[in-house]
Chains A and B, each alone.
Chain A
């Protein structure tokens, strides 16, 4: 990691973004309390749902440039063996194949839209995939007393300038990070950063920390794109019910 270089790069990118915004488009609309406005329907345009790392095409899987900064995930030795085993058995071992909640951050880069809402006290995310919901409290409240095991974790957010910073804890060890078997334990701790980059893009960065699985924290970066179709809506993909319907005896 080169934090100095990274921050300089980010600053340059932000400046470029700001210049472009000032020159070409009205400033992103702000929420009534003057905090940045992340509201809208968003979706990734990447292949992280299949594999968060660089990967060649496989049947049914588009080739993709990874979203992991530096591409390497610093697995501990035993965890790396488990990741490889997960990959081999992914057709049945992936919790996605059971119709379960995909967890965070995986739900953020599923190939489905999600909608962000803001109120005085919360940022709420509603996902097309599995009726997912995230309540991100921005009212200064701390994480509740643990231990807790939640599929989507507990999210507490704060604003740092234009960036929404979200601390997420209290996971289960039953969700994966992608369809390639990348995984974590219940000790997973995420720090997410949502930074508007003009009116129609959000730069999303998530730092992943889990001492049971990784030797050190590591980071993913990607862009959320605003869905601009005039009548776009978040619809519904309820994987569990769809699996049951496909298997229902009639």
Chain B
């Protein structure tokens, strides 16, 4: 078990990005003029959004375009890191203490059904399965938006919003055209997304997930029945309030909500770089030899 965990840690360290998010979460500076703690930020940001008029595209839509990075987010656990987790104090890549990103329910824990607790909360997934992100898949929704840099584009015609992620060259195409959803038998990693504007907020409604993705390094998870609604609202020119409501009757007792910030990347000339993953990956075979398995939803399948 010790050996297996250190192998996993090395793989995660190679994938990087995670540590950066953690360090940023530890800084006490305000984000968008709001307190740097997800629940306090959430309350403050919703107030600030009421008083802010976002820049507009030529066709009058709120202009969210540009490069962004997750802030107030960390890769370890959406439920927060309190100091008693197995990897706090690890010499290779220590987890750092961080507040929960969950703002609802009030106890700020994922409202798992009892069977799912020992799977998701640093349990079966974490100990027996290879993190799907380490296996070079897309990190999935909403985990993509807490890792590395991303880019929002609002192409001509307003029919789509494109959200590109440096993390393993992942992409999401969000249809704004109100055509019918995909058939229920088509499952895709990042879900089938329909977007709409509610005032100044971009609302993205996604279904058809294959359920092969986690929220975080801990193995917190959803299934192929997940329904995820994201809300992106600018609270100033350089800060987006990012709210994610997750519903999945197979695995939770009620819907729950995550919040973090997306902060504009302002480095001059910044562009997304190619992050090939599988093409240069060297660790998967060794990890599999330790008995750890690929994650394709086996712990929840059949529920």
A241 touches B189 (CB 8 A): yes
**Nearest neighbor of A175 in chain B, beta-carbon distance:** B279
Contacts of B197 in A (CB 8 A): none
A225 to B278 CA separation, bound complex (whole angstroms): 31
**Nearest neighbor of A127 in chain B, beta-carbon distance:** B171
* A31 interface hit (Cβ, 8 Å): yes
* A118 interface hit (Cβ, 8 Å): yes
A238 touches B138 (CB 8 A): yes
* B170 interface hit (Cβ, 8 Å): yes
Contact of B296 among A124, A231, A248 (CB under 8 A): A248
A23 to B13 CA separation, bound complex (whole angstroms): 61
* A13 interface hit (Cβ, 8 Å): no
Contacts of B169 in A (CB 8 A): 101, 131-133, 152
Contacts of A236 in B (CB 8 A): 188-190
The 0/1 profile, CB within 8 Å of B marked 1, for residues 121-141 of chain A is: 010101000011101010001
A233 touches B182 (CB 8 A): yes
Interface size class of B (residues with CB under 8 A): 35 or more
A245 to B296 CA separation, bound complex (whole angstroms): 7
A119 touches B189 (CB 8 A): no
Contacts of A9 in B (CB 8 A): none
Given A32-B58, A119-B154, A152-B274, check contact A248 B279 (CB 8 Å).
no
Contact of B138 among A118, A131, A152, A247 (CB under 8 A): A131
A234 to B189 CA separation, bound complex (whole angstroms): 13
A144 to B190 CA separation, bound complex (whole angstroms): 30
* B164 interface hit (Cβ, 8 Å): yes
Contact of A150 among B153, B159, B164, B274 (CB under 8 A): B274
Query: What count of chain A residues pass the 8 Å CB interface test?
Result: 43
* B85 interface hit (Cβ, 8 Å): no
* A43 interface hit (Cβ, 8 Å): no
What's the minimum C-beta distance from A157 to chain B, rounded to whole angstroms? Answer: 14
B162 touches A117 (CB 8 A): yes
* B272 interface hit (Cβ, 8 Å): yes
What's the minimum C-beta distance from B156 to chain A, rounded to whole angstroms? Answer: 4
B160 touches A117 (CB 8 A): yes
The 0/1 profile, CB within 8 Å of B marked 1, for residues 225-242 of chain A is: 000001101111010110
* A115 interface hit (Cβ, 8 Å): yes
Residues from 149 to 172 in B contacting A, C-beta threshold 8 Å: 153-157, 159-160, 162, 164, 168-171
- Most A CB atoms within 10 A — which of B160, B186, B272, B276? B276
* B137 interface hit (Cβ, 8 Å): yes
A74 to B287 CA separation, bound complex (whole angstroms): 44
A238 touches B137 (CB 8 A): yes
Contacts of A131 in B (CB 8 A): 138, 168-171, 189
* A219 interface hit (Cβ, 8 Å): no
- A residues adjacent to B (C-beta < 8 A): 29, 31-33, 37, 39, 98-101, 115, 117-119, 122, 124, 126, 131-133, 135, 137, 141, 144, 150-152, 174, 230-231, 233-236, 238, 240-241, 244-245, 247-250
Closest 9 pairs (CB-CB, A-B)? A117-B155, A31-B156, A248-B294, A236-B188, A150-B274, A240-B278, A100-B279, A241-B137, A151-B276
